[in-house]
């Protein structure tokens, strides 16, 4: 990416202050080409829809899911000191936090040109930090481009109508000219990592739904006091909450970037999550195309993965939960993983740091797999009470129609970055 080709808005974006982004953040929904047909805000835009440029799109996606260098790790856990804490599943950090460094999510996005995935969940550092801790944004953008994979031609096939989109979003959501960012969590993997976390901290599951212990758990008394338990429903609700934080902070980071760039948009959850993933049950509404299954025991369909793109750590993508556990351990301890001594990192002796983690041995894996397989066998899915693959929050980005705000709002409805956006980011168009 050449500095000479960057618009003046890029430099102004780099100088935009955090406090201004925080206090200036608002949901600004009315985009170029939009129409509200009735009511107190009835208005039809005089402009044509205007898609984001490639640079604008890359910046928003980077804010939502870009790699920010090496994960700093958790240094110590009392139960297995002096070993390095080994909860994390990714060696690289991203623009949003993840519980214990689990990082199970991937970032999907769509615009008029296609549907894409940012496949950087296990990517190495996008750039080296300078001595003062700074990252070069242009290097980060260049790295991000190498991890973007196009999955479909054209905009995500999800019509902006009920029941796929909430009634208050039908006029604005996923419309021509907009960018929709969709972070997706592998909740099956997250729960599996939570089972590892529990065992490392002296806990195992109990089935509070059927009011019984996990059959066979007593044989692992040499590893853990099997009377110390957490219920299945608690663990899965906690995991769902943690994954929700991961997805939401991803979108929130993008929302702050919109203020700095002078783009409109907002963070929301008003799209049916099953329809987005591909479980609408309507062939004409395939969404992202994830596989899903149904069962009379479940209140809703269960998405499990998109073959070759994002496969949940559970059957049918693995033949058993033991196979999923082994795959999880490979992610953590194998080549490129956070606890492989040959994986680069930020420390002066990175090999020594990464090699200080305790590797999950056969007994540990067997104990985790026993609990996970019990859930799958008993409930027909893993996890038992929450979806295997989960979405909740989305970020939409678009070019604002300032005329709408000038007509209905007092001064101050948008920031100086919005007022100058067209001039600073699209001077060649010579439009207001």
Q: Which of 170, 159, 64 is nearest to 117 (CA)?
A: 64
Q: Provide the number of structural domains found in the chain.
A: 1
Instruction: For residue 123, give its domain range.
Output: 3-429
pLDDT tens-digit readout, 82-123: 999 999 999 999 999 999 999 999 999 999 999 999 999 999
Positive or negative torsion for Cα 113, 115, 121, 123: negative
pLDDT for 295-316, tens place per residue?
A: 999 999 999 999 999 999 999 9
Which is nearest to 402 in space by CA: 388, 392, 413, 387? Answer: 413
Q: What is the pLDDT of residue 264?
A: 98
What's the pLDDT tens digit per position in 168-217? 999 999 999 999 999 999 999 999 999 999 999 999 999 999 999 999 99
Would the pLDDT of 2 be above 60? no
HEC sequence for the chain: CCHHHCCHHHHHHHHCCHHHHHHHCCCECCECCCEECCCCCCEECCCCCCCCCHHHHHHHHHHHHCEEEECCCCCCCHHHCCCECCCCCCCEEECCCCHHHCCCCEEEEEECCEEEEECCCCCCCCCCCCCCCCCCHHHHHHHHHCCEEEEEECCCCCCCCCCCECHHHCCCCCCCCCEEEEEEEEHHHHHHHHHHHHHHCCCEEEECCCCEECCCHHHHCCCCCCCCEEEHHHHHHHHHHHHHHHHHHHHHHHHHHHHHHCCEEEEECCECHHHHHCCCCCCCCCCCCCEEECCCCCCCCEEEEECCCEECCCCCCCCCHHHHHHHHHHHHHCCCCCCCCCCCCCCCCHHHHHCCECCCCHHHHHHHHHHHHHHHHHHCCCCCCCCCEECCCEEEEECECHHHHHHHCCCCCCCHHHHCHHHHHCHHHCCC
Q: Where residue 225 falls among pLDDT bands split at 50, 70, 90?
A: very high
What integer is the mean pLDDT of 401-430? 96
Residues in the chain, total: 432
- Return the exposure string of 12-48: e unless at least 16 CB atoms fall within 10 Å of the residue's CB, then b: bbeebeeeebeebbeebbbbbbbebeeeeeebebebe
Q: Could you tell me the pTM of the whole model?
A: 0.96
- The pLDDT of residue 429 is 85
| Average pLDDT of the segment spanning 235-257 | 98
In DSSP terms, 154 is beta-bridged to none
| CATH code, 103 | 3.40.109.10
- How far apart (Å, rounded) are the C-alpha atoms in residues 316 and 304? 8
Per-residue pLDDT for 3 more than 50? Answer: no
The per-residue pLDDT for range 7-31, each reduced to its tens digit, is 999 999 999 999 999 999 999 999 9
If one counts every other C-beta atom within 10 angstroms of the C-beta of residue 307, the result is: 11
Taking all residues of the chain, what is their mean pLDDT, rounded to a whole number?
Answer: 96
Please calculate the CA angle 165-170-173 and round it to the nearest 5 degrees: 80
Burial code (b: 16+ CB inside 10 Å, e: under 16) for 397-416 equals bbbbbbebbeeeeeeeebbe
Q: Is pLDDT above 60 for 63?
A: yes
All residues at 6 or more sequence positions from 393 whose CB lies less than 8 Å from its CB, including other chains: 183, 244, 247, 248, 250, 251, 267, 268, 269
* pLDDT score for 4: 52
Q: Are 110 and 174 in contact (CB under 8 A)?
A: yes
What's the CA gap between 23 and 347, in Å, rounded? 36
- Residue 272's nearest CA partner among 245, 316, 303 is 303
Of 120-134, 227-241, 355-369, which gets the smallest average pLDDT?
120-134
Tokens, residue 151: 């999955």
> According to the model, what pLDDT value does residue 335 have?
97
Cα 378 from Cα 125, distance rounded (Å): 41
């Amino acid at each position: 990416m050449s500095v000479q080709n960057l618009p003046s808005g890029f430099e102004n974006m780099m100088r935009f202050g955090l406090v201004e982004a925080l206090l200036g953040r608002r949901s600004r929904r009315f985009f170029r080409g939009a129409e509200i047909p009735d009511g107190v805000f009835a208005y039809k835009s005089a402009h044509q829809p205007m898609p984001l440029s490639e640079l604008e799109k890359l910046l928003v996606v980077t804010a939502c899911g870009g790699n920010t260098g090496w994960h700093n790790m958790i240094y110590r856990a009392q139960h297995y000191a002096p070993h390095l804490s080994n909860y994390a599943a990714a060696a690289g950090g991203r623009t949003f936090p993840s519980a214990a460094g689990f990082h199970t999510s991937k970032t999907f996005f769509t615009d008029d040109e296609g549907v894409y995935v940012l496949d950087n969940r296990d990517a190495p550092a996008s750039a080296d930090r300078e001595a003062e801790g700074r990252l070069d944004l242009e290097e980060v953008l260049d790295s991000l481009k190498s991890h973007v994979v196009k999955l479909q031609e054209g905009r995500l096939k999800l019509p902006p109508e009920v029941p796929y989109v909430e009634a208050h979003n039908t006029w604005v959501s996923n419309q021509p000219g907009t960018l929709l960012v969709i972070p997706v969590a592998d909740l099956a993997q997250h729960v599996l990592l939570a089972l590892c976390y529990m065992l490392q901290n002296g806990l195992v599951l109990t089935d509070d739904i059927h009011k019984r212990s996990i059959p066979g758990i007593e044989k692992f008394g040499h590893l853990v006091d099997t009377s110390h338990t957490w219920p299945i429903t608690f663990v899965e609700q906690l995991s769902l909450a943690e994954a929700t934080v991961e997805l939401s902070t991803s979108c929130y980071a993008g929302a702050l970037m919109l203020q700095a760039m002078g783009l409109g948009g907002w963070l929301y959850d008003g799209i049916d999550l099953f329809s987005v993933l591909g479980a609408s049950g309507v062939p004409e509404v395939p969404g992202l195309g994830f596989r899903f299954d149904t069962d009379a025991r479940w209140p809703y369909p269960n998405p499990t993965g998109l073959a070759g793109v994002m496969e949940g750590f559970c059957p049918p993508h693995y033949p058993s939960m033991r196979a999923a556990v082994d795959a999880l351990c490979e992610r953590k301890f194998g080549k490129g993983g956070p606890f492989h001594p040959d994986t680069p990192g930020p420390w002066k002796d990175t090999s020594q740091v990464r090699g200080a983690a305790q590797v999950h041995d056969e007994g540990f894996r067997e104990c985790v797999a026993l609990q996970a397989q019990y859930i799958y066998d008993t409930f027909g899915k893993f996890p038992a009470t929450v979806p295997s693959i989960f979405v909740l929050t989305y970020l939409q980005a678009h070019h604002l129609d300032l005329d709408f705000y000038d007509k209905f709002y007092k001064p101050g409805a948008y920031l100086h970055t919005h007022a100058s956006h067209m001039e600073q980011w699209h001077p060649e168009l010579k439009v207001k």
